[in-house]
Amino acid sequence: MVNLICLFAVSLVLFFLGAWLLPITDPTESVYALTAREMLAADDWLSPRIYGNFWYDKPIMFYWELLAAYKIFGVGEFAARLFPAIFATLGLFLTYFFGAKLYNNRIGFAAALMLATTLEYWYLAHAVITDMTLMVMFAATLITFFLAYRAGKPKFYAVSFAASAVAVLTKGPVGFFLPGLIILIFLAWQGDLRHLSKLFRPRNLLTFAAIVALWYLPMTLIHGQEFFVNFFGVHNFLRATVSEYPKTDVWYYYLLITAVGFFPWSVPLIPAAIRKFFRRAELFIEEGRLPVFDAHEKFLIVWAATVIIFFQLCATKYVTYTLPAMIPIAIFVARYFVNRWRIFIGTAGSALIIFPLMLYFVALPLTEDNSARREAKLLLPLIDGQTCVVSHGKEYAGSMVFYTGAKIFRLETPENFARIRPQEMSWTSKNVMPFMTFDELPADKKILAVVSVGFEQSFFDNASGDWVLVGEVPKGALESAAENFFYGRERIELKSKIYLRGRNFNGD
């Protein structure tokens, strides 16, 4: 009980404290937060929608979480970040429980505390994205399978199938396919593939199908081919076969991400792992003996390695994809630290001090730079029923729509619009925001234009008329405040500028 209370206290400090300070960021968080906001406004808890269009990017589970939080606490940063923090806490309890079952309470506690104080887990506990929910349901699927397998109680496999179904409601087919692949490889290593017949019994399959059908069936009946092509085609098949960000499609991507994401624990672990590898290699050369693993170690190794290798083979790579591998890694390496308790407590204690400071001094300025919350604050007093709001820059800020509630057009040249307009089975199909080209700017309305710094020349080369600068947004609130204090206003680096064309503020 003491361990659980400690882990809960750690969760409050690391995951919940100050989370409401962080603005909704672009490009990813704003999509989820805005989609749930539009669903709530439409009183539609079934069909995700954004910018007035139905949106088939992700299944429904995370939107249900956001909708529930919005209903209870209102639309805002605290509500949006609540469930990622809750699921991060559940992830710690799952890690503690599984580590204790495999080994002992000390290892379970060490693994859970280690997980809580890794950079990637801390970051994703605050992120308004699906990954923390997926990680918990993914882990629940595999943990319940292994405990039922070890205890020889196949009747509990229905729980594993139910957890997998919720994972499918969170992220799509990968919530079933990847845990199934891990189980298949583990059973093959065990020489026990016949055990699959105990897994795939009608009761388990019916449990899975009934939960999955809660959303997939009505979506298919209501939206038909449009849902099928966009959800399964673009957001699943295309993601696996065509890289959305080709620069990240390199062979070492997830090895690097895992090392960075596991910071600060990867600092002592990497040299220790290298030494252990060479000792085992030397043993194999001298005595011809391969390392022997028990069933627990096999399962943890297969779980972590399969996740990393699977996503490495996929074309599209995100830093969040390897999160499901962190629980087995934490449990596996916790055994190293329980014999080095002073190092463990020192590292964990340092992280408990550093991460809350990072939230304010690092995460807050970074999220401000990747959010349009401050632009929205400047825009709101200037918008009336006759105002046209446009945005011109390197990317469209969905967070500006989230914070203002206004219809904001993505302003492009006709040539660029032809390149990025939505097309089927292409990553441009995600560009469902309202567009406007420069030659379509209305002549009879007040126009507010939010222009990213660096795009002013492009804007004035294409936008006719007289424009007045009515607002400036600096980069990083804390950073800019410090620069202003020490160096004066001329040193402040700007993020965006707001221009007005047409009637002035008094309507003249």
DSSP for 297-332 reads HHHHHHHHHHHHHHHHHSSS--TTTTGGGHHHHHHH
For residue 231, name the pLDDT band (cuts at 50, 70, 90). Answer: confident
Do 148 and 344 touch, CB atoms closer than 8 A?
Answer: no
Distance from C-alpha of 66 to C-alpha of 63, rounded to nearest angstrom: 5
For residue 419, name the pLDDT band (cuts at 50, 70, 90). Answer: confident
pLDDT at 246 over 70: no
pLDDT tens digits for range 112-165:
999 999 999 999 999 999 999 999 999 999 999 999 999 999 889 999 999 999
Q: Angle formed by the axes of helices 61-73 and 131-151, to 10°?
A: 120
Helix ranges (DSSP H) in 103-130: 105-116, 119-124
In this prediction, residues 284-296 reach a mean pLDDT of: 69
Q: Against a cut of 0.75, is the pTM above it?
A: yes
Cβ neighbours for 175, distance < 8 A, ≥ 6 positions apart: 134, 137, 138, 141, 164, 165, 166, 167, 168, 169
* Mean pLDDT of the chain, nearest integer: 88
Any idea which of 252-261, 450-459, 463-472 has the lowest mean pLDDT? 252-261
Distance from C-alpha of 473 to C-alpha of 476, rounded to nearest angstrom: 9
How many alpha carbons lie under 13 Å from residue 89 in its C-beta half-sphere? Answer: 19
Q: Where are the domains of the chain?
A: 2-366, 372-501
pLDDT tens digits for range 49-68:
999 999 888 999 999 999 99
Q: What separation, in Å, do the N-terminal and C-terminal C-alpha atoms of the chain show? A: 68
pLDDT tens digits for range 430-449:
788 999 999 999 988 899 99
Cis, bond preceding 264 (omega within 30 deg of 0): yes
Closest of 246, 241, 230, 242 to residue 431, by C-alpha: 230
- Residue 436 phi/psi, 5-degree rounding, is -150, 135
